[in-house]
Amino acid sequence: MDLELGEERLQAQRMVRDFVEREVGPHIAAWDREQRMDPALLPRMGELGILGICLPTRYGGQGYDYLTLGLVCEELERMDTSLRVIMSVHMGLNSLALLQWGNDEQKRRLLTPQALGEQIGAFCLTEPGAGSDVAAMRATARRDGDAYVLNGEKMWISLATRADNFLVVARHDPDAGATRGLSAFMVTRNMAGVSTGDIHGKLGIRAGSTGWIAMQDVAVPVENRLGEEGEGFKIAMSSLDNGRYTVASGATGLIRACLDASLRYARERRSFGHPIGQHQLVKQKLAHMQQWYDCSRLLWLQAGWLKNRGQRNTRETGMAKWYATDHSVKAALEAVQLHGAYGFSDEFPVERYLRNSKGATIYEGTSEIHQLMQADYALGLRQDRPLRCELPAWDEDFWLGDDVAP
Amino acid sequence: MHIVTFTRSTPDTAARLTVDADGSVSQGDAAMVVNPWDEYSLEECIAQAEDQGGTATVIAIGPEVHEEALRQALAMGVNAALRIDDPELATADSIGWATVAAAAIPRLDEVDLVIFGKEAVDVGSDQHQIQTARLLGWPFIGAVSRILELDAARGRLRVERSLEQGKQVLDCRLPAVISVLKDVNEPRYPSFMGIRRASRASIPLWTLAELAAELQKPLSRQLKLEEPPQRLAEAEMLSGTPAEQAGALIERLEKEQVL
């Protein structure tokens, strides 16, 4: 594995850090407190190219690779989880699915405006009664001539009220198997019968938008079906390989935020005549945070490296996601503890880090689901079969070439 | 319209600088960044060149570490970058630096304006800017908070300066040298495309021989560098009602002869 990141990727990461520190940092506590998403955020991220960071320039993207996507997610979540969530759904779960499964017409029509940040993508799999048990989903897609008529409700959808294009998985054939009867569709906000709303009262990620989408007799043209009929489950699972990658790298950034805040406080705060960083039990917390950061980072870097090479990475990405998110909760708990009473108040950011950390151990595969998956891989009970469309390896000539795609 | 700016890499202002026993300055593992004041001069240089359909060139004088600042400038959008280095420069003072700058500018395509950032944050000095203008024989205006008019065809520049007493508007002829304050603009971030271009750009290196520049013996030299003496402060918390605290505070200030 090549761990040399190079100046180009690191500069791109620094640019994102400067942006969030200058434009988001001063206001994030207020947006979080108000449970509102800054309306200027998505247009600004689009304008700066962040929303198209790892997409080929021929589709309006910035042409960087999957490792840079991870670095960007680390930087975004170091500031606030809500920023990284944008990349998870818009890029990881939606745009990369279009890149992987879309035909050329779909890439030009649907992916390009998303890469340019002119349109925002979201991902709709979970339902009020179907989370980890994807096959229990009830949303339907009935074929009617040149269209599918979609009905159902999707829940816990990030950017539900902000997105333009929703990648929706629904059951097109109730008689086919639990997963074989599923297909994927790109539903757009302007289609008749689509309604969305926000969910308030979340424990964390309160500066982000999470909501629901209801579809009532929504006519989706056939050209908006992603992949073939019956490929919905495979598309959803392969999208999760990309979404989980952004969650893993983001959670790594959250651990770094906890570590940075704790190091600052450990140097400044004094007790018993010394900076608290000189007390052994405080050092232990800092050492653990550093260990969790290093391990999380190496795990997502490994996944990113595999993605760049076009190799299947479901197991490695799952491991990175499981490890980084579980340890971001631990790091946030330790950071709050280290800050003492101040950690318990919103005078310091660590209480926000703790509230933000918990969600990622639930979404995109709970920690429990990831443990079952890893055990099944180890036991030889689970093997990844090749997909009809794999996520393309990062290829500089293709990513930076500007000729029209074949 | 050709606008030139200078930049340099300096330690991140958040770096914890220490002076070692041998007098060398250490910045720990802190990153080198573009001299923070230069972000404004770079932005102004790029924006003015864009407005006028002209060219923006950035120059760094000194060792390879300054290439980082040049690449950042290219990533922001300057059209060309070059670095000047020579072993002789290691001991040069500000006049030496200005001699090199003033020798380089005439070798570029007809330069109309040179824009500096307020100062170099590492050495805390701006005298090299005025010295450069003097050696070029061009007017110098410092503390510029806005360029009001820049007309290369008529050779005319009008700027607003921000002074303690208020704002001052000055006209001068081009070519000229100015230095800009933070109020002048909001610096842009490097673009992703710019970062890629910059990291792959080859930056020309000029030497003193190529410039036919001769450095005089430095007029000043650094004798010694040492840590500032530690200031030991003790805090004392005053107790009682706010009125009692205020009374006690005045008493203490009078005793210490502060009041």
B-chain residues near A6 (CB < 8 A)? 199
Q: Please give the pLDDT value at position A64.
A: 98
Name which of A8, A49, A400 is nearest B191 (Cβ-Cβ). Answer: A49
Q: What are phi and psi of A249, to 5 degrees?
A: -70, -35
Closest CA to A124 of A147, A158, A150: A158
Q: Is the torsion defined by CA of A37, A38, A39, A40 positive or negative?
A: negative
Secondary structure of chain B in HEC code, one letter for each residue: CEEEEECCEEECCCCCCEECCCCCEECCCCCEEECCCHHHHHHHHHHHHHHHCCEEEEEEECCHHHHHHHHHHHHHCCCEEEEECCHHHHHCCHHHHHHHHHHHHHHCCCCCEEEEECCECCCCECHHHHHHHHHHCCCEEEEEEEEEEEECCCCEEEEEEEECCEEEEEEEECCEEEEECHHHCCCCCCCHHHHHHHHHCCCCEECHHHHCCCCCCCCCCCCCCCCCCCCCCCCCCCCCCHHHHHHHHHHHHHHCCCC
How high is the ipTM of this complex? Answer: 0.91
Q: What is the pLDDT along chain B (259 residues), one digit of tens a residue?
A: 999 999 999 998 888 888 888 888 888 888 889 999 999 999 999 999 999 999 999 999 999 999 999 999 999 999 999 999 999 998 899 999 999 999 999 999 999 999 999 999 888 899 999 999 999 999 999 999 999 999 999 999 999 999 999 999 999 999 999 999 999 999 999 999 999 999 999 999 999 999 998 898 888 888 888 888 888 888 888 889 999 999 999 999 998 888 8
Q: What is the CATH number of the domain that holds B81?
A: 3.40.50.620
Q: Which residues pair with B81 in a beta bridge?
A: B58
Distance between CA B259 and CA B253 in Å, rounded?
6
Q: Which residues, in sequence order, are CB contacts of B252 under 8 Å at separation 6+?
A: none
Whether the pLDDT of residue A406 is over 70: the answer is no
Distance between CA B62 and CA A354 in Å, rounded?
46
Q: pTM of the predicted model, to two decimals? A: 0.91
Higher pLDDT, B140 or A2: B140
B-chain residues near A268 (CB < 8 A)? none
Contact A67, A105 (CB under 8 A): no
- Judged by DSSP in three states, A196 sits in strand
Name which of B72, B75, B192 is nearest A62 (Cβ-Cβ). Answer: B192
The CATH code for residues A6-119+396-400 is 1.10.540.10
A122-233 has which fold?
Butyryl-CoA Dehydrogenase, subunit A; domain 2 (2.40.110)
Nearest CA distance, A24 vs chain B (angstrom) = 14
Closest CA to B191 of A115, A11, A67, A43: A11
Nearest CA distance, B44 vs chain A (angstrom) = 19
Closest chain A residue to the Cα of B193, Cα to Cα: A62
Are B192 and A12 a contacting pair at CB < 8 A?
yes
Are A53 and B189 a contacting pair at CB < 8 A?
no
Q: How many independent structural domains does chain B possess? A: 1
In a domain, B13, yes or no: yes
A-chain residues near B191 (CB < 8 A)? 48-49
Are B189 and A48 a contacting pair at CB < 8 A?
yes
Q: Is the torsion defined by CA of A268, A269, A273, A277 positive or negative?
A: negative
Residue numbers of A annotated as active site: 364
In a domain, B203, yes or no: yes
Whether the pLDDT of residue A136 is over 50: the answer is yes
Q: How many CB pairs under 8 A join A and B?
A: 38
B196 and chain A in contact, CB less than 8 A? yes
Whether the pLDDT of residue A405 is over 50: the answer is no
Q: Please give the pLDDT value at position B230.
A: 82
Domain that holds residue B203: 2-211
In a domain, B234, yes or no: no
A232: its two tokens: 């919905």
* Separate counts of helices (H) and strands (E) for chain A: 15, 10
B9 and chain A in contact, CB less than 8 A? no
In a domain, B28, yes or no: yes
Instruction: List the single range of A127-141, A308-322, A384-398, B67-81 with lowest mean pLDDT.
Output: A127-141
A258: its two tokens: 């906890």
Closest chain B residue to the Cα of A17, Cα to Cα: B189
In a domain, B9, yes or no: yes
What is the Cα gyration radius of chain B? 22
Residue spans per domain, chain A: 6-119+396-400, 122-233, 237-379
Give domain A237-379's CATH number out of 3.40.50.720, 3.40.30.10, 1.20.140.10, 1.10.1240.10.
1.20.140.10
Element of type H or E holding A356: helix A350-357
